[in-house]
Structure 1
Amino acid sequence: MNRIFRTEPLTAPAFAPFGEVLEATGSPDRLINQGLCGRFHDRAVLDFGPETLPAGRAGISLFHAEPRSLPYRLELVERHPEGSQAFLPMTQHPFLVIVTEHPEAKPRAFLTNGAQGINLRRGTWHGVLTPLAAPGLFAVVDRIGTSPNLEEHWFDSPWLVVSGAGQA
């Protein structure tokens, strides 16, 4: 089967074409709360579409996804043409972030370190939420509105995601 690809660690430079990695690394931008809290300020671009779209707003939802395991069978990707989508894990367990430039391209699978979230740019093709441990609890920041904001692409032949960096 030549439709195999491997996980790679989630890093900001590798993920940059698809969105932002949300993590509290390095020194905070400023200290708040009497100097007892480091603020890592404005780490993602929230994009809820051009003004020509019907009115929408930012919302925070909670997702409870069933855990998956590797090897993982990738059967579809989806995108949200009207808004960005941020996934913030509510537990410190790694999860998979699968993205692709377009459905005909080979996907990439990033493995978070358990203390990272991600923000997908508007229109980015991505796999479904894929926690690797229970509970799969996430806060999700995305566009809330009445117009359709989901496109799915089912692969004719599924991909298989396996563990480990490098080329398959």
Structure 2
Amino acid sequence: MTAAAFAGFGEVVEVPEQGGRLINSGTAWRFDDVADLALDKNGGRALLSLFRVQPARLPLRCTGLERHPVSSQLFLPIGGRPFLVVVAHGRDAPDPATLRVFVTNGHQGVNYAPGTWHHPAIALDTVTDFLVLGRADARPDDNCDELPFPGEAVVEIS
């Protein structure tokens, strides 16, 4: 998964090859602003969650996607496990013709741009924990649209 290939859907989040600053008496490198977060529009606030995701059965039958129209949503795997990312473009509904599938290297996360259609987190091989930075809303349904595909898409890894 590369930043360039994923750019139309959001950002790949990983430790940059350059930059950062040494902190904590030289025991840690700090990298700031590794993602463009959009969480506070119209009074929302940041919400940090842990997700524990069961491994998917492959081939994966993708029957629909979700999006968060007013905020970004960031997923970082804990433990170095690769995971699957399924995204699509579409204004009012996901367009199956634009469906894209990415496999992370286990050290990459993703930050979905506001309005990006995506599949819920997809673990591979084993249970995978994620840190998820999303948006807390007074009414959660105001920032999560879930729509089915016409038919289904089958995702295989070869």
Q: Which residue identity is paired with 1:59?
A: L
**Alignment counterpart, residue 97 of structure 1, candidates 69, 85, 93:** 85
CA distance in 2 between counterparts of 1:28 and 1:116 reads: 17
The answer as to whether partners of 1:48 and 1:122 remain within 8 angstroms in 2 is: no
TM-score (norm 1): 0.84
The answer as to whether partners of 1:20 and 1:44 remain within 8 angstroms in 2 is: yes
CA distance in 2 between counterparts of 1:131 and 1:39 reads: 28
Q: Which residue number corresponds to residue 32 of structure 1?
A: 23
CA distance change for structure 1 residues 77 and 23 in 2, over 3 Å: closer, same or farther?
A: same
In the TM superposition, residue 49 of structure 1 has moved relative to its aligned partner by 5.5
CA distance in 2 between counterparts of 1:91 and 1:48 reads: 26
Gaps of 5+ in 2: none
TM-score (norm 2): 0.89
Root mean square deviation, CA, Å: 1.5
Q: Which residue number corresponds to residue 163 of structure 1?
A: 157
The 5 A counterparts of 1:141-156 are 141-147=133-139, 148-156=142-150
Q: Provide the identity percentage.
A: 43
Matched, 1:136 2:124: no
CA distance in 2 between counterparts of 1:62 and 1:118 reads: 15
Q: Secondary structure at the match of 1:76?
A: strand
**Alignment counterpart, residue 76 of structure 2, candidates 88, 101, 104:** 88
- Larger fraction in helix: 2
Gaps of 5+ in 1: 1-9
Matched, 1:72 2:60: yes
